[in-house]
Amino acid sequence: MLRFLLTSLLFCPLALVASFDEDDWLAIRAPTEVTAGVPFNVTFDVEVHNWATTFCHAFRVYLASSAREKISASFFDSDCYLLQEETLCNPTIEIDEGYVLFRNTTVTVTVPPSVGPSGKHYTVQGRILKTDGSYYGSSLDSNVFNLSGGTGEWADYELKGYTLWGDDGIPCGGYDCVRGCNNATFSAFDRNSTRECANSCPGVFINPTSSFGGQPTATMSMPSACSIEYSSSIPATSTTRTLPSTTIVRSSTNTPNTATSGSVPKFPFISLIPLLAVFLS
C-alpha cells in the first residue's frame, strides 16, 4: 500500500497542481484591474522548454478575450496583438541551448477601448517567435483581469464562443474593424470579401496562405546579433548562450517563480512532503 501511495504521488503531479492557486503557476503577471486606453505593465516570469533555441529571436504579447466570464486563463484564445515583436536581447532574458528563461521581464501595453466591453473578460498572452514566424513552445497566459472603459461590443461569433483566426496579423487597435467585417458570419476569413475587408482595417495584414496564425511565412534564418552596447553590459559571471558575435544572458542567479516545459509548469517536489506526511501518519 505504501509503495502504491508513493508511486501515485511521484508520477501524477499534474493532478495535485489543481489544488493550488492557479495564479501561482501563470507565466505572466497582469494587474487585476485595467483601464482601457491607459498603459500598464505585465511581467513575464517563466522558463520555456522546447528543444533547440537556435532561431528564437523575439516574443509577441497578445490580448485574449471571452464573451463569457471564465475563471481559468487556460480557456482564453488570443484575438489580437498588443506588442507585435519584442526582442529577446534583454538583460532579464536568458537563451540557453534548450530553453528560454524570462526573469521578471516587464513590458508596457495598452488595451484600446474599442477592443471590447468592460468586464472580467480578458487576459494577456505571449509567444516566443522564431525567425520564420513560427512559435517556440506553447502560449503563455496571465491572470484574468477586469477591464473598465471598454466601448466595444461582442460580435455574434464571439457570443457563440468562436475566436477569429489571424491574431498575428491583427493589432488590437484594428480589431474592432475586423470584428465588423465578420459580424455577419462567424466562420472567419472563409471568403475573399471578408478577408479583403479585414485587410483594409488599420494596421491589419492577414496572409491566408500562412500556417502560423495569419502571420506571413518567412524563411528560417539565424537571428540578428544583439547590439554591442547590450553585449558590453553583460556580467562576466553570467550564464550565456552565444549568438552571432554576441551573447544573451539572464540578469540574476535566482530561479523564476514559474517555469514551463511547453506550457506545463514544473511541479515543486517540496510540495509533496505534507501530503506524504498525511498518508504515512
Within 13 Å of residue 208, how many CA atoms lie on the same side as its CB?
Answer: 11
pLDDT band at 7 (very low <50, low <70, confident <90, very high): very low
pLDDT band at 127 (very low <50, low <70, confident <90, very high): very high
Domain that holds residue 254: 28-155+214-262
Structural domain contains residue 220: yes
Structural domain contains residue 15: no
Structural domain contains residue 277: no
What single-letter amino acid sits at 175?
Y
pLDDT band at 208 (very low <50, low <70, confident <90, very high): confident
The cell for 260 is: 514551463
- pTM, two decimals, is 0.74
- 180 C-beta neighbours (distance < 10 Å), count: 13
Whole-angstrom Cα distance, residue 87 to residue 102? Answer: 12
In Å, how far are 58, 245, 250, 274 from 93, measured between CA atoms?
Answer: 11, 18, 5, 34
pLDDT tens for 54-71 read 999 999 999 999 998 777
The DSSP 8-state label assigned to residue 172 in this structure reads G
In Å, how far are 55, 87, 217 from 223, measured between CA atoms?
Answer: 6, 10, 15
Report the domain count for the chain.
Answer: 1
Whole-angstrom Cα distance, residue 59 to residue 82? Answer: 11
Q: Could you tell me if 179 and 187 are in contact, meaning their C-beta atoms sit under 8 angstroms apart?
A: no
Whole-angstrom Cα distance, residue 80 to residue 188? Answer: 14
SS3 assignment, position 205: coil
pLDDT tens for 226-265 read 753 443 333 333 333 333 322 333 233 344 444 443 443 3
Rounded to the nearest 5°, which phi and psi values hold at 181?
-65, -25
